[in-house]
Amino acid sequence: MKKTVEVFRRELASVRTGRASPALLDKVMVDYYGTPMPVNQLATISVPEARLLVIQPWDKSSLPNIERAILKSDLGINPVSDGNVIRLVIPQLTEERRQELVKLVRKKAEEERVAIRNIRREANEMIKDLESESEISQDEARRALDRVQALTNEYIARIDQLLKKKEEEIMEV
């Protein structure tokens, strides 16, 4: 369940909001001498202003490849290169786009809630199997089922909390 929450947290970091974040580029893979590599392994990514990302590649020959990878990604941002660095200006989100992003984030949250519920179901089945094989008593099984449900509620609440925070961030103008 912890892993599920962490996966959701990483996915949320890559969702674009009105403000610049190096995490936006986490999923952008660059073809570097035939090997796909993440941008953050080829360059320094800085945020000099709230709506600007600056990418400074360690190897200047990789600049066009990084540019191409950003254009191919689903970020919807056009890179501006001066031969040494790439600047990404994060445009203001329209109200319509904000609503789409909120729907997308809610859908991802529901997928993670389902994953947590599946983990709960598997744990409950294991407990019931142990009880039917007389390895644990009915009282122990009931306590274990209650603990699994409490953990499930706790982790779903964490996902809801992350979702609420991200929705506020997206809707912020």
Predicted confidence band of residue 71 (pLDDT cuts 50, 70, 90):
confident
Tell me the pLDDT tens digit for each residue of 41-64. Answer: 889 999 888 788 899 999 888 899
Parent domain of 81: 19-89
Which of 80, 75, 91 lies closest to 19, judged by CA?
Answer: 91
Are both 103 and 167 inside the same structural domain?
yes
Tell me the pLDDT tens digit for each residue of 111-166. Answer: 999 999 999 999 999 999 998 988 888 999 999 999 999 999 999 999 999 999 98
Are both 62 and 110 inside the same structural domain?
no
- Give the end of a domain, one of 36, 63, 89: 89
- Please count the other Cβ atoms lying within 10 Å of the Cβ belonging to residue 90: 21
Are both 158 and 105 inside the same structural domain?
yes
pTM of the complete model: 0.67
| pLDDT of res. 16 | 66
Residue 172 above 90 pLDDT? no
Which of 93, 72, 70 lies closest to 80, judged by CA?
Answer: 70
Mean pLDDT of 4-22: 80
Structural domains counted in the chain: 2
Map tokens 């709960």 to a residue.
Answer: 120
Cβ-proximal residues to 31 (8 Å cutoff; 6+ apart), any chain = 65, 68, 69
Are both 158 and 113 inside the same structural domain?
yes
- Please count the other Cβ atoms lying within 10 Å of the Cβ belonging to residue 89: 13
Predicted confidence band of residue 13 (pLDDT cuts 50, 70, 90):
confident
Are both 100 and 82 inside the same structural domain?
no
Let me know if residue 75 belongs to a domain: yes
Tell me the pLDDT tens digit for each residue of 73-117. Answer: 877 788 888 888 999 888 777 888 888 888 989 999 999 999 999
Task: Provide the percentage of residues in the chain whose pLDDT is more than 70.
Answer: 97
Map tokens 């949250």 to a residue.
Answer: 109
What percent of the chain is helix, strand and coil (3-state, nearest 5)? Answer: 60, 15, 25
Are both 69 and 114 inside the same structural domain?
no
Residue type, 57: P
Map tokens 């984030």 to a residue.
Answer: 105
| pLDDT of res. 28 | 86
